[in-house]
């Protein structure tokens, strides 16, 4: 294959370049730092970098162009996700400024890795070739493997990192094998080419091709934490530093879903009949297992981990319904979901102590009496996760399930909404601890650092805004999807 | 049509919310100020709702005081408010009961006073919003919003088993309402497919032609959601727990307003949207209502706890409301709506009385009382009046409602009327027996001798209740004339639509096949169900 690097192409990947440059800058600055104490320099650079990249990404709206001989595509869909992951990066960096100080994470590479992970995500969501997608995925994954284990002294962090790495390697292998099989049967790595070749040669019945597709579902299923490829999620989420958990629950998931969506709705769209029933089953399993297991959790991070599995299930519902109506509900839901999780995890961080203490549900007993503001925010996040109007969580579910009905997936919708009723139980359980129970242990003063408060307020505001005036974002999402395909 | 050049309904909805937000900024130490502030807000709210009653046009069945604005035009979601003769009285009942609830909580609530009143004001916003919303999504939003404050009221200020009761309440209602949401979508997309218009406007959707097979499903989803709220047998089990554990004011609002949301939902949504299914469901709903009436009464008889007794009596009373509604004639329906108001006032009154005696004795067990009339004569008088209203003595409001319901039921299907009457007898049995055990006889417990009689605030509250019991009992015309036109319009509409569906069914449409219902299935339905003609006045 002949790849031409045209200089003019680079102007379209300014966000990626910015993120890379700032990642390297932080690494460089860190090398010249004498005192090994936590500093905010890295955090500030990350904030600047993500804001700058966001600014560049905003200029990409409405642009649709092929770059680097069709390896890379700038379109509304990719731009939407770029903006989302940059937003997540910004918020996570804000939280991290305070968090790294508390947990005494000295390493400058913390921020560098965050930036590189975002780079990987941006590559993933914009690639049209299996090879670039894979590179993006690996850049992201490798950064996350390390980030999970950054709390060096802790066994849980180590376990988290190691488990994620081992299982992640398997998933990557599956993905790669899938790509290989698809390549073997169709002779193409460009997803649009695969589609053209596969439909012209009618590969729908080719076992090699079908196996490749199945393996790709496994690979993406792992990254999106879908059942039955979800086993790692609770342990990794629990053990990882909480800002990294937020990052994984929102950013990684959004990027993985974006790539999943792009690959399956481009390359394998003609064979939707053969994979949508599989995804249907995965969606149902993901919702049910996530929600039912969450009922029994006593650690708040684990609870949120299972809840994020369940939410992946709702998103998969939208994924399935895409065969009849290509819907922008996934985009909207991912955005809403991002803010709910950002907020909820920020509260977890805020109430936590060094060494990740106070993460069990008992710590939340009687919280409303002592910290009314924090509990009010947490209430809003949990109610949004439950799907109570007029918050964004409701509008997101509204959107997804209305599309399921529109696509006449009645049973899927019924299972989905019943699941959200089950989910109400465990979210309410946290609320119940906060409001109805007497405190069981002394939490001490809460660190109301502006870093946390800002993130909480922004999330609350976003949830109300997205929930009550969804029109702008929905229109934006619809335009993004219209360009895609 | 809005006869006031002023968005009165929005004002009514957001005024309490404004109060709640302002209260957030008040220091929690100023408890008296918080109480007075809330009282003033609820009084203003009640005052502001009175123009609705006096400026209401009695001659039209149309929506009045309408407000409409686009919200998400592409999806057809609008901000659409309005009331007719059916919701008018319920709105007034809500604003009235809220004032009483604030008064009754004056001393009963000692912990987290600020949060309590904020929650209460928030609840009022949600309730009035639910009653005024004419856009399905707006309705659903307010409907769900009602859950949160009620959950908190039960869970924070409730009795010993409050957590269990609160969560049970929430989950029961949630399961019903999410299924209703799906039904809303299905209706919406059906309408969009057949007419090309995206709208959640319920008045437009009334005219949707829904294939009968789909109609049964959608009606089932709506009816389940509302039946849980009513609550109808067999999904009533959350009610006794919620009532028993809730604080007095919570019980009053729960009985007075929240349960009416279920019956109101049937009238506003489930029946007119799916008239054919509703009329075909008459036997099922009527029988469940009658089971509710008799079962509620029998179980009430055996309750040792006063609040639980009243809670089960609610199941019985709401059974009458449903029975009257599904008689589908003028008497039954008017009686049904009237009974909704009565139940709000009488059962609300009973809960208030139990709350007052509980504040004094800290027990609600019937066995702990006896001979109270000697030490609390004033209390005994009020209790007597409210009890008699609850068992529908002529001259009280309860009589008018129950009489009309039974008349309506009798005209519709004689058997239902006869069975319903059995419930009236049982109702007298459990209420009077309870009254006798609490009030008369020897004073067996020393504590009951020293109990203080009612104070001024309590007498004031109860006077309001008794005033309405008598007024609604002797001059029902004042209220009926407000709802006459709306009820007539409702019946005419349902009858016409049903007739339309019956003619349509004779020619099975192509639509039926699309919803997984084969043509033969769809055609099989009318064979045995449409034979019975529905008598409509």
Cβ atoms B295, B302 nearer than 8 A? no
Does residue A4 lie in a domain region?
Answer: no
Region of poorest pLDDT, from A62-66, A371-375, A408-412, B339-343: A62-66
- The C-alpha of B505 sits at a distance from chain A's nearest C-alpha, in angstroms, of 23
Number of domains in chain A: 1
CB pairs under 8 A between A and B: 74
Backbone angles phi, psi at A409, to 5 degrees: -95, 70
Whether residues A432 and B181 touch (CB distance < 8 A) is answered with no
Residue B130 reports pLDDT greater than 90? yes
Cβ atoms A432, B163 nearer than 8 A? yes
Q: Residues of B with CB below 8 A from A394's CB? A: 141, 144
Give every CB contact of residue A422 below 8 A, 6+ residues apart in sequence: A291, A292, A295
CA atoms of A384 and A396, how far apart (whole Å): 10
CA atoms of A321 and A317, how far apart (whole Å): 6
CA atoms of A346 and A243, how far apart (whole Å): 8
Using N-to-C axis directions, what is the helix angle for A329-351 and A76-103, rounded to 10°? 0
- The C-alpha of B211 sits at a distance from chain A's nearest C-alpha, in angstroms, of 15
Whether residues A436 and B74 touch (CB distance < 8 A) is answered with no
Mean pLDDT over the full length of chain A: 86
Cβ atoms B345, B256 nearer than 8 A? yes
Mean pLDDT over the full length of chain B: 85
CA atoms of B9 and B16, how far apart (whole Å): 12
Q: Residues of B with CB below 8 A from A425's CB? A: 167, 171
Q: Residues of A with CB below 8 A from B228's CB? A: none
Q: How many CA atoms lie within 13 A of A401 on its CB side?
A: 29
Using N-to-C axis directions, what is the helix angle for A109-126 and A14-31, rounded to 10°? 160
Q: Which of B141, B155, B175 sits opposite A432 (nearest CB)?
A: B155
The closest of B283, B273, B389 to B338, measured between CA atoms, is: B389
Task: Give whole-number Cα distances, A149 to A18, A27, A32, in Å.
Answer: 26, 18, 24
Cβ atoms A99, A110 nearer than 8 A? no
Does residue A1 lie in a domain region?
Answer: no
Q: Which of B137, B178, B189 sits opposite A421 (nearest CB)?
A: B178
- The C-alpha of B18 sits at a distance from chain A's nearest C-alpha, in angstroms, of 17
Residue A117 reports pLDDT greater than 90? yes
Task: Give whole-number Cα distances, A46 to A18, A42, A108, in Å.
Answer: 10, 6, 11
- The C-alpha of B508 sits at a distance from chain A's nearest C-alpha, in angstroms, of 21
Whether residues A428 and B151 touch (CB distance < 8 A) is answered with yes
Cβ atoms B274, B213 nearer than 8 A? no
CA-based nearest residue in chain B for residue A399: B185
Whether residues B178 and A420 touch (CB distance < 8 A) is answered with yes
Whether residues A405 and B155 touch (CB distance < 8 A) is answered with no
Positive or negative, the CA dihedral A351, A357, A359, A362 is negative
Quick one: tokens of B269? Answer: 């949504």
- The C-alpha of B241 sits at a distance from chain A's nearest C-alpha, in angstroms, of 17
Quick one: tokens of A71? Answer: 């390896």
Residue B528 reports pLDDT greater than 70? no
Quick one: tokens of B434? Answer: 């309870």
Assign A388 a pLDDT band (cuts: 50, 70, 90).
confident
Suggest the residue from A397, A471, A476 to mutate for an interface test with chain B (most B CBs closer than 10 A).
A471
Quick one: tokens of A405? Answer: 């009905």
- The C-alpha of A390 sits at a distance from chain B's nearest C-alpha, in angstroms, of 6
- Global model pTM greater than 0.90: no
Suggest the residue from B141, B180, B216, B517 to mutate for an interface test with chain A (most A CBs closer than 10 A).
B141
- The C-alpha of A322 sits at a distance from chain B's nearest C-alpha, in angstroms, of 16
Which pLDDT score is estimated for A91?
92
More confident position, A385 or B373: A385
The closest of A214, A195, A224, A209 to A128, measured between CA atoms, is: A195
Whether residues A390 and B141 touch (CB distance < 8 A) is answered with yes
Task: Give whole-number Cα distances, B210 to A110, A412, B88, B191, B526, in Å.
Answer: 59, 22, 29, 8, 15
Which pLDDT score is estimated for A82?
92
For range B55-70, the mean pLDDT: 85
Residue B510 reports pLDDT greater than 70? no
CA atoms of A219 and A141, how far apart (whole Å): 12
CA atoms of B202 and B192, how far apart (whole Å): 13
3 state SS for B211-232: CHHHHHHHHHHHHHHHHHHCCC
Q: What b/e readout covers B320-351, taking b as 16+ CB neighbours within 10 angstroms?
A: bbbbbbbbbbbbbbbbbbbbbbbbbbbbbbbb
Whether residues A425 and B145 touch (CB distance < 8 A) is answered with no
Q: Which residues share a beta bridge with B64?
A: B83
DSSP3 helix / strand / coil % (chain A, rounded to 5): 75, 5, 20
CA atoms of B437 and B100, how far apart (whole Å): 27
Which pLDDT score is estimated for A327?
67
pLDDT digits (tens, 9 = 90+) for A185-223: 888 888 888 888 888 888 778 888 889 989 999 999 998
Residue B435 reports pLDDT greater than 80? yes
Assign B518 a pLDDT band (cuts: 50, 70, 90).
very low
Cβ atoms B432, B387 nearer than 8 A? yes
Q: Residues of B with CB below 8 A from A369's CB? A: 112
Helix (H, G, I), strand (E, B) or coil at B395: coil
Whether residues A388 and B145 touch (CB distance < 8 A) is answered with yes
Does residue A39 lie in a domain region?
Answer: yes
Q: Which of B74, B175, B189 sits opposite A405 (nearest CB)?
A: B189
Which pLDDT score is estimated for B140?
92
- The C-alpha of A413 sits at a distance from chain B's nearest C-alpha, in angstroms, of 7
Tell me the residue ranges of DSSP E strands in B53-163. 64-72, 77-83
Q: Which of B112, B151, B185 sits opposite A405 (nearest CB)?
A: B185
Suggest the residue from A383, A385, A402, A430 to mutate for an interface test with chain B (most B CBs closer than 10 A).
A402
Assign B533 a pLDDT band (cuts: 50, 70, 90).
very low
Count of CB atoms situated within 10 Å of the CB of B533: 10
Residue B516 reports pLDDT greater than 60? no
- The C-alpha of A21 sits at a distance from chain B's nearest C-alpha, in angstroms, of 42
Q: What b/e readout covers A220-244, taking b as 16+ CB neighbours within 10 angstroms?
A: bbbbbbbbebbebbbbbbbbbbbbb
Task: Give whole-number Cα distances, A408 to A38, A224, A323, A327, in Å.
Answer: 55, 25, 11, 14
The closest of B483, B334, B328, B340 to B409, measured between CA atoms, is: B328
CA-based nearest residue in chain B for residue A416: B178
- The C-alpha of A186 sits at a distance from chain B's nearest C-alpha, in angstroms, of 38
Task: Give whole-number Cα distances, B291 to B297, B368, B375, in Å.
Answer: 10, 31, 39
Q: Which of B147, B182, B188 sits opposite A417 (nearest CB)?
A: B182
DSSP A327-338: -SHHHHHHHHHH
The closest of B130, B13, B5 to B65, measured between CA atoms, is: B5
Which pLDDT score is estimated for A323?
60
Suggest the residue from A287, A401, A417 to mutate for an interface test with chain B (most B CBs closer than 10 A).
A417
pLDDT digits (tens, 9 = 90+) for A414-452: 999 889 888 988 998 888 888 888 887 776 777 788 888
Strands A72-74 and A65-67: antiparallel
Residue A76 reports pLDDT greater than 80? yes
Quick one: tokens of A167? Answer: 């299982």
Does residue A452 lie in a domain region?
Answer: yes
Whether residues B170 and A389 touch (CB distance < 8 A) is answered with no
Which pLDDT score is estimated for B291?
92
Residue A90 reports pLDDT greater than 90? yes
Residue A17 reports pLDDT greater than 70? yes
Whether residues A436 and B163 touch (CB distance < 8 A) is answered with yes
Cβ atoms A427, A421 nearer than 8 A? no
Does residue A2 lie in a domain region?
Answer: no
Give the H or E element holding residue A65.
Answer: strand A65-67
Is the previous residue joined to A228 through a cis bond, with omega within 30 degrees of 0?
yes
Q: Residues of A with CB below 8 A from B166's CB? A: 432, 436
Whether residues B170 and A401 touch (CB distance < 8 A) is answered with no
Assign B526 a pLDDT band (cuts: 50, 70, 90).
very low
The closest of B230, B257, B239 to B131, measured between CA atoms, is: B257
Assign B125 a pLDDT band (cuts: 50, 70, 90).
very high
3 state SS for B310-331: HHHHHHHHHHHHHHHHCCCCHH
CA atoms of A91 and A97, how far apart (whole Å): 10
Q: Which of B72, B144, B175 sits opposite A388 (nearest CB)?
A: B144
Q: Residues of A with CB below 8 A from B112's CB? A: 369
Task: Give whole-number Cα distances, A303 to A252, A338, A361, B478, in Å.
Answer: 18, 16, 9, 56
Residue B530 reports pLDDT greater than 50? no
What is the domain range of residue A284?
A: 12-483
Residue A27 reports pLDDT greater than 80? yes
Backbone angles phi, psi at A129, to 5 degrees: -120, 140
DSSP A208: H
CA atoms of A263 and A85, how far apart (whole Å): 19
CA atoms of B217 and B515, how far apart (whole Å): 10
């Amino acid at each position: 294959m002949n790849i031409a690097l045209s200089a003019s192409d680079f102007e379209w990947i300014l966000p990626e370049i910015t993120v890379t440059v700032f990642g390297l800058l932080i690494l460089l600055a860190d090398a010249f730092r004498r005192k090994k104490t936590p500093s905010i320099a890295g955090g500030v650079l990350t904030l600047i970098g993500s804001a700058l990249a966001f600014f560049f990404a905003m200029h990409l709206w409405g642009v649709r162009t092929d770059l680097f001989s069709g390896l890379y595509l700038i379109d509304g869909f990719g731009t939407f996700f770029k903006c989302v992951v940059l937003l997540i990066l910004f918020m996570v960096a804000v939280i991290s400024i305070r968090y790294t100080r508390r947990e005494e994470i000295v390493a400058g590479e913390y921020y560098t890795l965050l930036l590189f992970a975002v780079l990987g995500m941006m590559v993933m969501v914009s690639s049209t070739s299996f090879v670039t997608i894979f590179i993006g995925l690996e850049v992201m994954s490798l950064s996350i493997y390390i980030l999970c284990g950054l709390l060096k002294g802790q066994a849980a962090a180590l376990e988290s990192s190691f488990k994620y790495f081992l299982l992640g390697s398997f998933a990557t292998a599956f993905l790669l094998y899938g790509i290989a099989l698809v390549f073997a049967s169709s002779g193409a790595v460009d997803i649009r080419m695969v589609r053209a070749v596969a439909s012209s040669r009618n590969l729908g019945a080719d076992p090699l091709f079908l196996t490749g597709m199945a393996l790709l579902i496994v690979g993406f299923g792992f990254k999106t934490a879908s059942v039955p490829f979800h086993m790692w999620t609770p342990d990794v989420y629990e053990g990882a530093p909480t800002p990294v958990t937020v990052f994984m629950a929102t950013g990684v998931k959004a990027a993985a879903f974006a790539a999943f969506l792009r690959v399956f709705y481009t390359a394998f769209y003609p064979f939707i009949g053969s994979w949508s029933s599989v995804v249907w089953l995965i969606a149902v399993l993901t919702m049910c297992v996530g929600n039912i297991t969450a009922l029994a959790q006593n650690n708040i991070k684990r609870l949120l981990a299972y809840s994020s599995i369940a939410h992946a299930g709702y998103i998969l519902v939208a994924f399935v319904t895409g065969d009849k109506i290509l819907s922008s509900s996934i985009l909207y839901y991912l955005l809403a979901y991002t803010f709910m999780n950002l907020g909820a995890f920020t509260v977890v961080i805020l109430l936590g102590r060094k060494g990740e203490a106070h993460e069990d549900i008992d710590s939340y007993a009687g919280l409303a009496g002592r910290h009314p503001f924090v509990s009010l925010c947490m209430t809003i996040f949990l109610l949004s996760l439950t799907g109570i109007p007029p918050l964004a969580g409701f509008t997101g579910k509204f959107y997804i399930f209305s599309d399921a009905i529109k696509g006449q997936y009645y049973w899927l919708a019924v299972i989905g909404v019943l699941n959200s009723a089950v989910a109400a139980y465990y979210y309410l359980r946290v609320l119940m601890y906060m409001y109805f129970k007497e405190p069981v242990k002394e939490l001490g003063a809460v660190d109301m650092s502006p870093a946390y408060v800002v993130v909480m307020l922004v999330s609350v505001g976003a949830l109300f805004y997205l929930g009550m005036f969804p029109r702008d974002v929905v229109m934006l999402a619809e335009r993004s999807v219209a360009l895609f395909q | 049509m809005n006869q006031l050049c002023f968005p009165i309904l929005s004002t009514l909805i957001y005024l309490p919310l404004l109060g709640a937000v302002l209260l957030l900024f008040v220091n929690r130490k100023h408890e008296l100020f918080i109480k007075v502030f809330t009282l003033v807000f609820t009084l203003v709210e009640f005052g502001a709702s009175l123009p609705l009653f006096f400026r209401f046009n009695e001659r039209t069945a149309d929506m009045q005081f309408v407000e409409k604005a686009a919200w998400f035009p592409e999806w057809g979601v609008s901000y659409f408010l309005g009331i007719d003769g059916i919701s008018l009285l319920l709105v007034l009942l809500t604003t009235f009961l809220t004032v009483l609830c604030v008064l009754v909580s004056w001393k009963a609530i000692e912990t987290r006073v600020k949060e309590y009143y904020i929650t209460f004001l928030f609840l009022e916003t949600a309730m009035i919003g639910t009653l005024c919303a004419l856009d399905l999504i707006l309705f659903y939003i307010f409907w769900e919003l009602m859950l949160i404050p009620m959950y908190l009221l039960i869970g924070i200020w409730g009795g010993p088993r409050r957590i269990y009761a609160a969560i049970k309440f929430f989950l029961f209602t949630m399961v019903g309402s999410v299924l209703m949401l799906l039904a809303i979508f299905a209706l919406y997309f059906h309408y969009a497919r057949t007419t090309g218009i995206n709208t959640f406007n319920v008045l437009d959707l009334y005219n949707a032609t829904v294939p009968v097979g789909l109609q049964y499903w959608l009606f089932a989803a709506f009816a389940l959601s509302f039946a849980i709220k009513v609550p109808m047998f067999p999904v009533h089990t959350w009610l006794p727990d919620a009532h028993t554990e809730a604080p007095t004011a919570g019980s009053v609002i729960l009985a007075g307003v929240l349960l009416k949301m279920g019956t109101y939902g049937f009238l506003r949504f489930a029946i007119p949207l799916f008239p054919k299914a509703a009329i075909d469901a008459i036997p099922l709903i009527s029988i469940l209502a009658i089971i509710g009436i008799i079962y509620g009464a029998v179980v009430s008889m055996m309750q040792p706890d006063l609040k639980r007794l009243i809670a089960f009596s609610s199941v019985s009373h709401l059974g009458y409301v449903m029975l009257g509604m599904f008689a589908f004639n003028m008497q039954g329906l008017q009686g049904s709506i009237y009974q909704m108001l009565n139940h709000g006032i009488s059962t609300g009154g009973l809960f208030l009385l139990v709350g007052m005696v509980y504040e004094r004795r800290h027990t609600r067990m019937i066995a702990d009382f006896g001979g109270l009339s000697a030490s609390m004569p004033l209390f005994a008088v009020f209790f007597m009046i409210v009890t008699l209203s609850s068992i529908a003595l002529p001259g009280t409001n309860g009589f008018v409602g129950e009489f009309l319901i039974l008349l309506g039921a009798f005209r519709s299907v004689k058997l239902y009327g006869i069975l319903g009457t059995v419930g009236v007898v049982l109702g007298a049995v459990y209420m009077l027996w309870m009254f006798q055990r609490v009030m008369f006889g020897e004073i067996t417990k020393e504590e009951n001798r020293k109990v203080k009689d009612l104070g001024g605030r309590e007498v004031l509250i109860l006077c309001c209740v008794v005033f309405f019991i008598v007024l609604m009992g002797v001059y029902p015309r004042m209220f009926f004339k407000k709802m006459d036109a709306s009820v007539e319009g409702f019946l005419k509409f349902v009858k016409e639509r049903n007739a339309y569906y019956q003619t349509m069914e004779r020619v099975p449409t192509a639509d039926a096949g699309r919803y997984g219902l084969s043509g033969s299935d769809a055609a099989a339905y009318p064979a045995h169900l449409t034979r019975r003609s529905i008598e409509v006045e």
